[in-house]
Amino acid sequence: MRPLALSALLCSFVATAQTPIADARLLPTGTTVTVRGIVTNGGELGGIRYVQDATGGIALFPGAGSQGGFAPPRGADVTATGVLKLFNGLLELDPITAWNVHATGEPLPVPAVIAPQQMGEANESELVRMTSCTFMATGDFTAGTTPFTGNGQSGVIYLRSGHPLVGTAVPSGPVDLVGIVSQYSTSVPPVGGYQLLPRDAADLMPATGIAIIGPAQQHTIVPDGFTLQWTTNIGGTSQVAFGPTPALGQFAAAAGTTTAHDVALTGLPPASFHYARAFSVADGDTAWAPLGLYSTASAVPGHVRAYFNKSVDHDVALTVMADVLPNAFDDTVRAHIDAAAHTVDYAVYNTTFAGIAVSLNAARDRGVQVRVIAEGGTGNSALDDLHPDIPVLYRTDGQGSGMHNKFIVIDAEAAALARTITGSKNMTPGSFFSDANNLVIVHDQALARGYRAEFNEMWGGDGPLPDPVQSRFGPAKTDDTPHLYNVGGDLVEAWFSPSDGTAQRIAQALGTADHSVEFALFAFTHYDLADALIDAQDAGAMVRGIIEGDDMSTGLFDHLQDGGVIVAADQMPAYLHHKYAIVDRAHPTSAPVVITGSHNWSYNADNLNDENTLIMHSAAIADQYYQEWHARWGTSVGITAPAGTPSALRAWPNPARDVLRVQGDGAGRTPAELHVVDALGRTVHTATVAGTGPWNVPVAAFAPGTYVIVVRQAHGAARAVFVRE
């Protein structure tokens, strides 16, 4: 008779033919399979176990209906039978109907060395190692995701509640990360969401040898070159390999050894793109930055023009008054198409305004090469009127919103004529005249060439006709355009979805806020971006915004309010179709930023759709967008936090003219400081208040506009918004 413990260990065994894990991963979900492998984690990741054989890895989850007692230790040799299931993108066996532990204490598979962006389906559920990684966070690890960079690429680790690393110090220097590749994606079908699961402190090993900390940064972008800057953990050489193709072949270097590296590339043509890879050598060891694609500046200095089709508030202007084209967006777009001399590359989600087709046909008639890309699943009635010689390529895979771009590139190869038209509008009567939209026209050859490269990737080449075989849309695209441009002395960033990690870059831009963030968004469902706004609020910035109310995510709206963000639902009769945010508009020394383009703040926009985003570092442009935002805000304010919550204030009458009455949150704590802050973030009134009110606040001396009341007590701060008529 077998010992009782061994009998219990074997009780779940089922003699089913084993399938190599790599083959099992190719079978349809719902299939029952048997696999055998080495368990690579224990209870630190919860009840789930990841197993790996010589062909691949897979997750085993003892869900409902599983055979009981499944909790093998790390290093166990296990056979398991279960049903293939996708859980938020992660392929797993669930339920586990039978299992058997053959042995324990077996050697674990050797982790494959990969870069962060190589996490994907090919190595899902496998042990991997990433070298020379640096965490962007400081302090202690918390449950959830923590971003890191490794050799210039970005990724995230995920720690569940109760994980051994939660509450321990985040390493301040470079480490080699070991962990299991997992996936959490809520899109259908699942896209992206890959994350590394370290198991304990032993999976964070100090990096050995020279390592590059963070990505190489481009700066001093001039017509004949640019400079790359990077940091290493120890002193080393400063060298860059570069060239017109990924083969590189040319070299530049700076003298000496250092940890702070700067190498200038000179003698390059204007508005030209160059692949480059920074590297440093110390004691025979070489640290490489990832390959990057960079642009020089244009020979003709560029400039940006922003336009709005609804009223703006010039009274709050600090620099240049914003341009309003209430019934002329169509004329403006058509005028630029009508001025095209050589090429028009048109990539717009939907086109139903007949005049656009008239202008595209006229351009073709005078010898201009016209190419058109559109989304096949939405209205494009005006494109039916194009001349038969104008080729049109539709995206037709049905993923997300599909080809959701809104850009036109004109004369990209003519230095003095090149321009890019973008913004939030489609080419429809509603976008032109009814819905609130912004239009951006960037006169700059380098940026136009970058946008044209994105067009060519979708088109399948640079020829006059599309190549369906080479055409790439959505997740099939790669990050193959420069991101930084010098436009007339201002830095302008260009990002394309879903290949470029646009939402992460938007979050980083929001994270630069020192004083204020304002946003106006048509669709907002991306919780990571909501958390970025809450983080900015927590760091001391005043964060306010408007979301289109018709299809608003109420859960995210409540999440923002709970996080202290002052947010309102749009009250316009038509759509608020913007997708913009403004950072530190009234503080030039804090580097004001405007984020705009076609990219809604949604999961599909970041992972499925074709989208374009501009991040413009310009105090003047930020001021113009703020004038538009302030006008939209004026129609949407008057809200307070939900009644009965600890942070709720009531303020009436709203709008107010002489005296505003403010009611506290009912907690009755004293003392309290009441502050009134204007639209520029300046405190215009302070008072000490007692009890819960109501308190009288004199507002007759205030200039007309939007104000925020902040009452700070020992237990926190409460806010409300009011308008002074």
Residue of 406, 577, 599, 630 marked catalytic: 577
Return the closest-CA partner of residue 646 out of 525, 562, 542.
562
Task: Answer whether 570's CB lies under 8 Å from 592's CB.
Answer: no
Overall average pLDDT of the 227-250 stretch: 95
E strand or H helix that includes residue 262: strand 250-265
H runs (alpha helix) in 514-608: 527-538, 554-562, 603-607
Encoded tokens for 178: 């070991």
Burial status of residue 511 (CB atoms within 10 A of its CB: 0-12, 13-18, 19 or more):
middle
Told to judge if 336 belongs to the known catalytic residues of this protein, a careful annotator would answer: no
Overall average pLDDT of the 195-216 stretch: 87
Average pLDDT, the chain: 90
Q: Which residue bears the tokens 């999440």?
A: 559
pTM above 0.85, yes or no: no
Q: Which amino acid, one-letter code, is at 333?
A: V
Angle at 422 between CA 417 and CA 423, to 5 degrees: 145
- Asked whether the predicted pLDDT for residue 10 surpasses 70, the reply is no
Which pLDDT band holds residue 6 (cuts at 50, 70, 90)?
A: very low
Q: What pLDDT, on the 0 to 100 scale, is given for residue 637?
A: 66
Overall average pLDDT of the 115-120 stretch: 92
Using the Cα atoms of residue 246, residue 247, residue 249 and residue 255 in order, give the sign of their dihedral: positive
Encoded tokens for 46: 């919860």
Q: What pLDDT, on the 0 to 100 scale, is given for residue 692?
A: 75
Residue of 77, 313, 570, 584 marked catalytic: 584
Task: Answer whether 39's CB lies under 8 Å from 51's CB.
Answer: yes
Task: Answer whether 622's CB lies under 8 Å from 438's CB.
Answer: no
The C-alpha atoms of residue 560 and residue 708 are separated, in whole angstroms, by 16
- Asked whether the predicted pLDDT for residue 11 surpasses 90, the reply is no
Q: What pLDDT, on the 0 to 100 scale, is given for residue 713?
A: 67
- In sequence order, the 6+-apart residues with CB closer than 8 A to the CB of 390 are 360, 361, 364, 370, 371, 372
E strand or H helix that includes residue 619: helix 619-634
Which pLDDT band holds residue 356 (cuts at 50, 70, 90)?
A: very high
Q: What is the DSSP letter of 693?
A: -
pLDDT tens readout for residues 148-186: 988 778 899 999 988 999 999 898 778 899 999 999 988
pLDDT tens readout for residues 625-678: 999 999 998 877 633 333 333 345 777 887 788 898 888 755 445 578 888 887
The C-alpha atoms of residue 195 and residue 41 are separated, in whole angstroms, by 15
Task: Answer whether 689's CB lies under 8 Å from 674's CB.
Answer: yes
Which pLDDT band holds residue 190 (cuts at 50, 70, 90)?
A: confident
Which pLDDT band holds residue 720 (cuts at 50, 70, 90)?
A: confident
Q: What pLDDT, on the 0 to 100 scale, is given for residue 717?
A: 66
pLDDT tens readout for residues 332-347: 999 999 999 999 999 9
Task: Answer whether 348's CB lies under 8 Å from 427's CB.
Answer: yes
**CA distance readout (Å), 184 to 104, 142, 189, 247:** 30, 18, 12, 35
Q: What pLDDT, on the 0 to 100 scale, is given for residue 250?
A: 97
Helix orientation angle between 329-338 and 354-365, rounded to the nearest 10 degrees = 10
Count of alpha carbons within 13 angstroms of residue 399, beta-carbon side: 22
- In sequence order, the 6+-apart residues with CB closer than 8 A to the CB of 674 are 662, 685, 686, 687, 688, 689, 695, 697, 709, 710, 711
pLDDT tens readout for residues 364-408: 999 999 999 999 999 999 999 999 999 999 999 999 999 999 999
The C-alpha atoms of residue 601 and residue 355 are separated, in whole angstroms, by 30
Give the bridge partners for 306, in sequence order.
440
The C-alpha atoms of residue 386 and residue 389 are separated, in whole angstroms, by 8
E strand or H helix that includes residue 369: strand 369-375
- Asked whether the predicted pLDDT for residue 312 surpasses 70, the reply is yes
Task: Answer whether 415's CB lies under 8 Å from 298's CB.
Answer: yes
* Cα distance from N-terminal residue to C-terminal residue, the chain: 90
60-74, 276-290, 382-396, 682-696: range with highest mean pLDDT: 382-396
- Asked whether the predicted pLDDT for residue 504 surpasses 90, the reply is no
Task: Answer whether 290's CB lies under 8 Å from 277's CB.
Answer: yes
The C-alpha atoms of residue 197 and residue 217 are separated, in whole angstroms, by 28
Task: Answer whether 397's CB lies under 8 Å from 473's CB.
Answer: yes
Burial status of residue 18 (CB atoms within 10 A of its CB: 0-12, 13-18, 19 or more):
middle
Return the closest-CA partner of residue 213 out of 199, 189, 229, 194.
229
The C-alpha atoms of residue 162 and residue 142 are separated, in whole angstroms, by 10
Task: Answer whether 581's CB lies under 8 Å from 517's CB.
Answer: yes
Told to judge if 77 belongs to the known catalytic residues of this protein, a careful annotator would answer: no
Encoded tokens for 537: 């609020």
Q: What pLDDT, on the 0 to 100 scale, is given for residue 554?
A: 86
- Asked whether the predicted pLDDT for residue 531 surpasses 60, the reply is yes
Q: What pLDDT, on the 0 to 100 scale, is given for residue 665?
A: 58
Task: Answer whether 55's CB lies under 8 Å from 22's CB.
Answer: yes
Return the closest-CA partner of residue 491 out of 232, 299, 222, 672.
222
Strands 77-87 and 32-39: antiparallel
The C-alpha atoms of residue 63 and residue 85 are separated, in whole angstroms, by 11
SS3 percent helix, strand, coil of the chain, rounded to 5, is 20, 40, 40
Omega before 498 within 30 of 0, i.e. cis? yes
- In sequence order, the 6+-apart residues with CB closer than 8 A to the CB of 141 are 159, 163, 165, 166, 167, 168, 169, 170
Task: Answer whether 675's CB lies under 8 Å from 683's CB.
Answer: yes
The C-alpha atoms of residue 363 and residue 333 are separated, in whole angstroms, by 13
The C-alpha atoms of residue 342 and residue 466 are separated, in whole angstroms, by 18
**CA distance readout (Å), 506 to 111, 501, 547, 622:** 33, 9, 17, 15
Residue of 526, 579, 599, 630 marked catalytic: 579
Count of alpha carbons within 13 angstroms of residue 223, beta-carbon side: 10
Strands 659-663 and 593-597: unpaired
Encoded tokens for 61: 């989850």
Encoded tokens for 688: 């000490």
Convert 411-434 into a string of H (helix), E (strand) and C (coil).
CCCCCCCCEEEEECCCECHHHHHH
Told to judge if 310 belongs to the known catalytic residues of this protein, a careful annotator would answer: no
Three-state DSSP class for 378?
A: coil
**CA distance readout (Å), 37 to 25, 80, 502:** 14, 9, 38
H runs (alpha helix) in 15-67: 21-24
Q: Which residue has the higher pLDDT, 667 or 610?
A: 610
